[in-house]
Structure 1
Amino acid sequence: METYNNIVLERLPRHLKRYVVAQRYERYTALDQALWRYVMRQNYSFLKDVAYYPYIPGLKKAGLSIATIPNLQDMNDSLKLIGWGAVTVDGFIPPAAFMEFQAHRVLVIAADIRQLEHIEYTPAPDIIHESSGHAPIIGEPDYAAYLQYFGEVGTKALSSGKDFELYEAIRYLSILKEHATTTEVELAEAEKNLQIIQDNMGEPSEMALLSRLHWWTVEYGLIGDLHNPKIYGAGLLSSIGESASCMQEDVPKLPYSLNAIEYAYDITKPQPQLFVTPDFEHLKIVLDKFADTMAFRVGGKLSVDKAIDCRAVCTVQYSSGLQVSGVFKLANTDQNLSYIQTQGPTALAFAGKQLEGHGIDYHSEGFGSPVGNLRGADQDLEDFDAVTLIQYGIVEGQQCLLNFASGITVVGTVQLIVRQFDKIVLISFTACEVYRNDGKEVYFRPEWGIYDMAVGTEIISVFAGAADKDAYETLEEHPGQASFSMTNETEDVKLVNLHAAIRNLRDKGFDQEAWLYIFNLLGPENADHWLGLVELFEIAWANNAEELAHLAEVRLLKFVTLYPHLKKLIDDGLRVAKEEALLNNQ
Structure 2
Amino acid sequence: METYNNVVLEQLPKHLKRFVVAQQYERYTALDQALWRYVMRQNYSFLKDVAYYPYIPGLKKAGLSIARIPDLQQMNDSLKLIGWGAVTVDGFIPPSAFMEFQAHRVLVIAADIRQLEHIEYTPAPDIIHESSGHAPIIGEPDYAVYLQYFGEIGTKALSSRKDFELYEAIRHLSILKEHAGTTEAELAEAESHLKTVQDNMGEPSEMALLSRLHWWTVEYGLIGSLEDPKIYGAGLLSSIGESASCMQKSVPKLPYDLDAVNYAYDITKPQPQLFVTPDFEHLMKVLNQFADTMAFRVGGKQSLEKAIDCQAVCTAVYSSGLQVSGVFKTANSDQAISYLQTVGPTALAFSGKQLAEHGTNYHREGFGSPVGLLENSPKDLADFSDEELIDYGIRPGKRCSLRFSSGIVVEGVVMKALRQETKVVLISFEDCEVYRNDRMEIYFKPEWGTYDMAVGAEIVSVFAGAADKDTYPSVDEKTEETPNLSHIPIEDSKLVAIHACIGKLRSESFDRKSWKDIFDQLYTEITDNWLALVELYEIAWAHHVYELTQEAESKLSAIIAIRPSLKKLIEDGIRVAKEEALNNH
Distance 1:583 1:220 in 2: 31
Q: 2:32 is matched with which residue? A: 32
Distance 2:448 2:485 in 1: 50
**Aligned 8 A contact 1:15 1:473 in 2:** no
**Aligned 8 A contact 1:63 1:76 in 2:** yes
- CA displacement 1:431-465 (0-9 Å, x = unmatched): 11111125442111010000000000000000000
What secondary structure is seen at the aligned counterpart in 1 of 2:400? strand
User: Taking structure 1 as reference, are residues 437 and 479 closer, same or farther at Cα in structure 2, changes over 3 Å only?
Assistant: closer
Note the C-alpha offset of 1:379.
Answer: 1.2
Q: Percent identity?
A: 74
Letter in 2 for 1:82: I
Note the C-alpha offset of 1:489.
Answer: 6.0
Distance 2:563 2:311 in 1: 50
After TM superposition, list the pairs within 5 Å mapping 1:37-186 onto structure 2: 37-186=37-186
After TM superposition, list the pairs within 5 Å mapping 1:176-215 onto structure 2: 176-215=176-215
User: Taking structure 1 as reference, are residues 256 and 285 closer, same or farther at Cα in structure 2, changes over 3 Å only?
Assistant: same
**Aligned 8 A contact 1:22 1:480 in 2:** no
Distance 2:293 2:488 in 1: 45
Distance 1:218 1:522 in 2: 40
User: Taking structure 1 as reference, are residues 571 and 493 closer, same or farther at Cα in structure 2, changes over 3 Å only?
Assistant: same
- CA displacement 1:393-446 (0-9 Å, x = unmatched): 111111100000011110000011000111100000001111112544211101
Q: 2:505 is matched with which residue? A: 505
Note the C-alpha offset of 1:482.
Answer: 2.9
Distance 2:490 2:99 in 1: 32
**Aligned 8 A contact 2:27 2:486 in 1:** no
Note the C-alpha offset of 1:473.
Answer: 2.5
Q: 2:355 is matched with which residue? A: 355
Distance 2:578 2:30 in 1: 23
Q: 1:273 is matched with which residue? A: 273
User: Taking structure 1 as reference, are residues 490 and 442 closer, same or farther at Cα in structure 2, changes over 3 Å only?
Assistant: farther
Note the C-alpha offset of 1:272.
Answer: 0.3
Distance 1:380 1:19 in 2: 42
Stretch deviating more after TM superposition (93-102 or 468-477): 468-477
What secondary structure is seen at the aligned counterpart in 2 of 1:424? strand
Q: 1:418 is matched with which residue? A: 418
Note the C-alpha offset of 1:579.
Answer: 0.2
Q: 2:527 is matched with which residue? A: 527
Letter in 2 for 1:361: N
| 1:463 to 2:480 alignment | no
**Aligned 8 A contact 2:435 2:443 in 1:** yes
Note the C-alpha offset of 1:290.
Answer: 0.1
Distance 2:19 2:491 in 1: 26
Q: 1:569 is matched with which residue? A: 569
Count of aligned positions:
585
Point out where structure 1 has 5 or more consecutive residues left out of the alignment: none
**Aligned 8 A contact 2:3 2:9 in 1:** yes
Superposition TM-score, scaled by structure 1 size: 0.98
User: Taking structure 1 as reference, are residues 23 and 491 closer, same or farther at Cα in structure 2, changes over 3 Å only?
Assistant: farther
**Aligned 8 A contact 2:525 2:562 in 1:** no
Point out where structure 2 has 5 or more consecutive residues left out of the alignment: none
**Aligned 8 A contact 1:179 1:486 in 2:** no
Letter in 2 for 1:5: N
Note the C-alpha offset of 1:380.
Answer: 1.1
Q: 2:319 is matched with which residue? A: 319
| 1:494 to 2:494 alignment | yes
Note the C-alpha offset of 1:335.
Answer: 1.4
Note the C-alpha offset of 1:354.
Answer: 0.3
What secondary structure is seen at the aligned counterpart in 2 of 1:270? coil
What secondary structure is seen at the aligned counterpart in 1 of 2:471? helix
After TM superposition, list the pairs within 5 Å mapping 1:277-296 onto structure 2: 277-296=277-296
Note the C-alpha offset of 1:160.
Answer: 0.4
User: Taking structure 1 as reference, are residues 476 and 96 closer, same or farther at Cα in structure 2, changes over 3 Å only?
Assistant: closer
Distance 2:475 2:258 in 1: 37
Distance 1:494 1:577 in 2: 25
Q: 1:255 is matched with which residue? A: 255
Note the C-alpha offset of 1:363.
Answer: 0.4
Note the C-alpha offset of 1:183.
Answer: 1.0
Q: 1:299 is matched with which residue? A: 299
Distance 2:484 2:2 in 1: 18
**Aligned 8 A contact 1:24 1:481 in 2:** no
- CA displacement 1:216-254 (0-9 Å, x = unmatched): 000000000111100000000000000000000100000
Q: 2:333 is matched with which residue? A: 333
Q: 1:264 is matched with which residue? A: 264
Q: 1:434 is matched with which residue? A: 434
Q: 2:14 is matched with which residue? A: 14
- CA displacement 1:307-331 (0-9 Å, x = unmatched): 0011110000000000000011111
What secondary structure is seen at the aligned counterpart in 2 of 1:251? coil
Superposition TM-score, scaled by structure 2 size: 0.99
What secondary structure is seen at the aligned counterpart in 2 of 1:470? coil
What secondary structure is seen at the aligned counterpart in 1 of 2:470? helix
What secondary structure is seen at the aligned counterpart in 2 of 1:108? strand
Letter in 2 for 1:103: A
Note the C-alpha offset of 1:180.
Answer: 1.6
Distance 1:534 1:550 in 2: 12
- CA displacement 1:104-153 (0-9 Å, x = unmatched): 00000000000000000000000000000000000000000000000000
Note the C-alpha offset of 1:378.
Answer: 2.9
Distance 1:70 1:209 in 2: 33
After TM superposition, list the pairs within 5 Å mapping 1:216-227 onto structure 2: 216-227=216-227
Letter in 2 for 1:472: Y
**Aligned 8 A contact 2:3 2:10 in 1:** yes
Note the C-alpha offset of 1:474.
Answer: 4.1
**Aligned 8 A contact 2:23 2:111 in 1:** yes
Distance 2:502 2:171 in 1: 35
Letter in 2 for 1:246: C
